[in-house]
Amino acid sequence: MLLDVQDLSVSYDGIQAVRQISFNVKQGERVTIIGANGAGKSSTLKALAGLIKLTQGRIQFNGQTINTVPAYERVALGLCLVPEGRGIFQRMSIEENLWMGAYSRGVKEFNQQVGQVYDIFPRLYERRSQNAGTLSGGEQQMLAIGRALLSQPQLLMLDEPSMGLAPQMVDHLFEVIGKVVSQGVSLLLIEQNAELALHLCDRAYVMDTGEIILSDSAKNCLTHPLVQQAYLG
Amino acid sequence: MIFWQQVINGLTLGSIYALVALGYTMVYGIMELINFAHGDVVMVGALIALTLTQWFMQQGLGFPLSLLLASGLSICVCMLLGWVIERVAYRPLRTAPKLAPLITAIGLSLLLQQLAALIWGKSYLPFPGNLEGSSYAWHGIVISSLQLSIFILSLLLMFLLWQLVHHTKLGRAMRSTAQSVPFAQLMGVNTNQVISQTFIIGSALAAVAGVMDVMYYSVGNYTMGFLLGLKAFTAAVLGGIGNLKGAMLGGLLLGVLEALGAGYIGDITHGIMGSNYKDVFAFFVLILVLIFRPNGLLGSNNQEKV
């Protein structure tokens, strides 16, 4: 088991955003959590990345309990989050952003691996010395994913990668994500576009008001009446 | 002739302002805090260097060696002081409303001043040794070797800081932390450590500026950091606070403006105001900047946080 979460609860200002949820991701698996706005999906990912404290529960990664491991040390363990809004450093160049991706690995690793990222995203190579703030939304998302790859993640967590992107861009993006994860990286994807997410992933959890209300294979979820009615409309 | 002489004097003064302004701007850039105690770190650096130079000389060491040793120790003490200030005063307030750390900064400034008054007393202390040195004259313009050293050393330090911030791992960590603490953490940056290191670097520059200041004016006092700090803060705002180039430019510019003001104020006001009113210029500049260009000369309007 790569990621095993037991009874995770998260509170913001006294409001419980996530209530005792349990889920897991196996090595090489692609898992999605779908659900409406405010269901607690982002809070879950932030807690996994260490950005917010959990009020209860246990997170195990590769068999190690990481509840108290600070956020900046989780990257080195292979747990990488591309946050909502992408987390690009707008006032740094594209290459420097990529360099930040390899921050926990070192310069040598960066030099060895950056070529592969540029192969996947040729646009980034063309514009590598420009400020990341000049990229379009879709390009920034590509940069965020490329940067995440440079941290050599075992589990890549993406928070709403399609948000704010044109439909064409979204299709292209999901193609790229599919390609990336086919190389052995496990995926935990949060997405409001349930259809895309379910087609990409092996398994799905459905969250509603802080709880997991359904857990099944992605294929079954696509035809599940609850998912059909609420998220695929 | 007096014009160019005052420009030279102003550049000397301005390079001291610039070194101090860098400390303000780095801390502001990374955590949006005006560290009003920074000027008093300069004072601590100056007074420690002054006392230790004297002490080393009493032990029979020559002036240059005494000064070098004293400055080195003063830099170390100030780095430690900067680290302690961040750790004890600002870190617990990281998530507090912005007014809390600001008031703490002012409190810290007073605390450092009063501690210094206890240690060094309230009178003006002369800097030991003969600082006359050699000077170079050129078409009637005089540059002392002290002025030249201050200017060159400042430029060197600014160059090194620029390289550090733009071409090292620590520098990139600092810039990413400045743009977003959580995003930097997601990259593996220990942001608390980076903030500590920012304070340490800023305080080291402050110590150097303190040594320069106390040598330039050849006296030191427990309140010397207040005005110097305020002027350096003005310089940082003039250049665009949060912007490294801005602090360097703002410092030099403010120094020159002040020197020119001091040189000409007597002529302009027909002797009603003398050069003792030179401090007015810095704050006049601050007011003008805040009215007409609140983002500073090099600050942009859209310095959005990511």
Task: Give domain limits for chain B.
Answer: 2-292
Query: Which two three-digit tokens encode residue B19?
Result: 């070194």
Confidence of residue B118 (pLDDT cuts 50, 70, 90): very high
- The DSSP bridge pattern shows strands A30-35 and A203-208 to be parallel
Question: Stretch B58-81: mean pLDDT, rounded?
Answer: 95
What ranges do the domains of chain A cover? 3-232
Between residues 162 and 201 of chain B, which touch chain A (CB distance below 8 Å)? 169, 172-173, 175-176, 179-180, 182-191
pTM of the model: 0.91
Q: What is the mean pLDDT of chain A?
A: 93
Q: Inter-chain contact A70–B190, Cβ cutoff 8 Å?
A: yes
- Please list every residue in chain A whose beta carbon sits closer than 8 Å to the beta carbon of residue B173: 103
pLDDT digits (tens, 9 = 90+) for B206-220: 999 999 999 999 999
Size of interface A-B (CB pairs under 8 A): 69
The DSSP code for B128 is P
CATH of domain B2-292: 1.10.3470
Chain A residue numbers touching B183 (CB-CB < 8 A): 83, 87, 89
Do A71 and B180 make contact, defined as CB atoms within 8 angstroms? no
pLDDT at B129 over 80: no
| A52 min Cα distance to partner chain B (Å) | 10
User: Using CB atoms, which residue from B169, B182, B306 is nearest to A51?
Assistant: B182
Residue in B with minimal Cα distance to A133: B306
For A96-114, the pLDDT digits (tens) are 999 999 999 999 999 999 9
pLDDT of residue B275: 75
Residue A85, judged by CB atoms within 10 A of its CB (0-12, 13-18, 19+), counts as middle
ipTM greater than 0.90, yes or no? yes
End-to-end CA distance of chain A: 34
Inter-chain contact A89–B179, Cβ cutoff 8 Å? yes
CATH topology of domain A3-232: Rossmann fold (3.40.50)
Q: Hey, which bits of chain B come out as E strands?
A: 125-126, 135-138, 141-144, 219-220
CA B300 vs. chain centroid, Å, equals 23
**Interface probe with B: pick from A100, A105, A155, most Cβ of B within 10 Å:** A100
Chain B residues with CB inside 8 Å of A80's CB?
186
Least confident of A2-11, B177-186, B222-231, B276-285: B276-285
Distance CA B22, CA B28 (A): 10
3-state DSSP call for residue A163?
Answer: coil
Q: Is the pLDDT confidence value at B233 over 60?
A: yes
